[in-house]
Amino acid sequence: MRLRRGLLPTLLLLALALGLAACEADGEDPVDDADADAEADADAEEAIDSGSVTVGAFDFPESLVLATLYAEALEGAGYDTEVQQAGQREALFPALENGDVDVLPEYNGNALDFVLGGEAEVMDSDATTEMLREEVAEDGLVVLDAAEAENGDELAMTAERADELGVSAVGDLVGQEGDLTIAGSPEFAERSTGLVGLEEVYGLEFGDFLQTDACGPETFDALSSGAADIARLCSTDPPILEQGWVVLEEDEPFTLPNNIVPVGRDGALDDGAREVLNEVSALLTTEDLQDFNSRFGGDDPEDAEAIVTEWLEGAGLLD
C-alpha cells in the first residue's frame, strides 16, 4: 500500500478559483489579472513548501536510522525530505521551534524530562506522552502517536564484574559505589534519569564518573575494558546481548519510559504527513530497534536507507 500525501494545497487552489468565478458571476469586478497571477504563484509556492519535510536526528546511530525511516516513509508518500543530524535536545528543540527541523523522532520520557527541566516524574508511557503533548503545545509543537518500540535507560555491568561484586539490582550497589567508576554521556551526569536520580532515589555517590558518549562505542569500550565498572546504556544496544552484559534491575524505579514518538512543528505537518508518521509508529517494535542497531551500528554497518527500505516494504508501507 502506498501512503498518499494530503490534498489540502490542491483544495485551496480550487477554492480560490471558485471564489473568483463567483465574484465575476455576481457582477463584481474580478481581481486584476496581474494580482491573480501573483497570488496563484504564491499559493503554488506554498503548496510546494508544504510537501517538504526536514527530519531531525540526534548524534547517535539509532536516532539516525529512525530519522531515515520516517523520512523514507514520507518520501514514499510523495514528500520531499531530508535528514538533518543536529546533536542533542539542547540544539534540536530550538531547531524545531524556529523551523530548521520539521519533525524529530523522540523518546517520550527523556523529551518530557528535558522540557520540564529535569523534573519529570516516573509514570506510564501513555501518561508521559500526554503530558509531553500538553507541555510543548504552547511552543507550537505537536506530539504524534507513540510507538510500542522503546529504548530505555539501563545500567549494565560485565557478567564478571557483577558476579565479583554480587550485584544484580541497582540497590545492590549501595555501600560499594564509592569505589566504583560509572560511565555515561555528559547529559547522564546532570539529569534526573542519571546520576541525579541515582543519588536521590538510592543515595548512590560513585567514586568517579567517566564521561563517554551516549549509547555508543566509547561507552561500550569503557565497560568491556574495565575502565568503568558500570555504564549507562540504552536497552537496544547490541553489546548487551552480544557480550552477555548484566542489566541491573531497578528495585526502585527512577527512569522514565522511552517510547519512540515523533514531535513536530504544527504548521509544518499536514494531515497526510501525520498519517504517514503515525502508520510507521503503529508498526515499530523494540525488536526492530535492536535489529536496526545491530545492522547499522556494528563494525561493518549496512546502509541506513537500505535497512529502512527493507522494513517499510515488509510492513506494506512502500510499493
For residues 43 and 300, which has the higher predicted lDDT (pLDDT)?
Answer: 300
| Tens digit of each residue's pLDDT (9 = 90 or more) over 257-302 | 999 999 999 999 999 999 999 999 999 998 899 899 989 976 788 9
The CATH architecture assigned to 153-247 reads 3-Layer(aba) Sandwich (3.40)
Instruction: Look up the pTM and report it.
Output: 0.69
Distance CA(78)–CA(47), nearest Å, equals: 13
- Three-state DSSP string of the chain: CCCCCCCHHHHHHHHHHHHHHHHHHCCCCCCCHHHHHHHHHHHHHHHHHHCEEEEEECCCHHHHHHHHHHHHHHHHCCCEEEEEECCCHHHHHHHHHHCCCCEEEEEHHHHHHHHCCCCCCCCCHHHHHHHHHHHHHCCCEEECCCCCCECCEEEEECHHHHHHHCCCEHHHHCCCHHHCEEEECCHHHCCCCCHHHHHHHHCCCCCEEEECCCCCHHHHHHHHHCCCCEEEEECCCCHHHHCCCEECECCCCCCCCCEEEEEEEHHHCCHHHHHHHHHHHHHCCHHHHHHHHHHHCCCCCCCHHHHHHHHHHHCCCCC
Residue 142 phi, psi (nearest 5): -120, 145
Task: Assess contact for 286 and 150: CB atoms under 8 A.
Answer: yes
Place 14 in a pLDDT band, splitting at 50, 70 and 90: very low
Task: Determine the pLDDT at residue 33.
Answer: 53
Task: Determine the pLDDT at residue 278.
Answer: 98
Domains 51-150+258-314 and 153-247 share a fold: yes
Task: Determine the pLDDT at residue 11.
Answer: 33
Strands 208-211 and 181-184: parallel
Q: Max CA-CA distance within the chain?
A: 92
Kindly report the average pLDDT of the chain as a whole number: 86
Place 39 in a pLDDT band, splitting at 50, 70 and 90: low
The dihedral built from the CA positions of residue 203, 207, 208 and 214, taken in this order, carries a sign that is negative
| Tens digit of each residue's pLDDT (9 = 90 or more) over 49-58 | 448 999 999 9
| Tens digit of each residue's pLDDT (9 = 90 or more) over 140-173 | 999 999 999 999 989 999 999 999 999 999 999 9
Distance CA(107)–CA(129), nearest Å, equals: 9
For residue 130, which amino acid is it?
Answer: E
| Closest by CA position to 267, among listed 77, 106, 96 | 96
Distance CA(250)–CA(231), nearest Å, equals: 14
Assigned CATH for 51-150+258-314: 3.40.190.10
For residues 270 and 33, which has the higher predicted lDDT (pLDDT)?
Answer: 270
Q: What is the average per-residue pLDDT within 80-88?
A: 93
Task: Determine the pLDDT at residue 32.
Answer: 52
Residue 211 phi, psi (nearest 5): -75, 125
Could you tell me what percent of the chain has a pLDDT over 90?
67
Task: Determine the pLDDT at residue 15.
Answer: 37
Task: Assess contact for 53 and 273: CB atoms under 8 A.
Answer: yes
| Tens digit of each residue's pLDDT (9 = 90 or more) over 192-229 | 779 999 999 999 999 999 999 988 899 999 999 999 99
| Tens digit of each residue's pLDDT (9 = 90 or more) over 94-112 | 999 999 999 999 999 999 9
Each domain of the chain, given as residue ranges in start order, spans 8-48, 51-150+258-314, 153-247
| Tens digit of each residue's pLDDT (9 = 90 or more) over 222-251 | 999 999 999 999 989 888 888 999 999 999
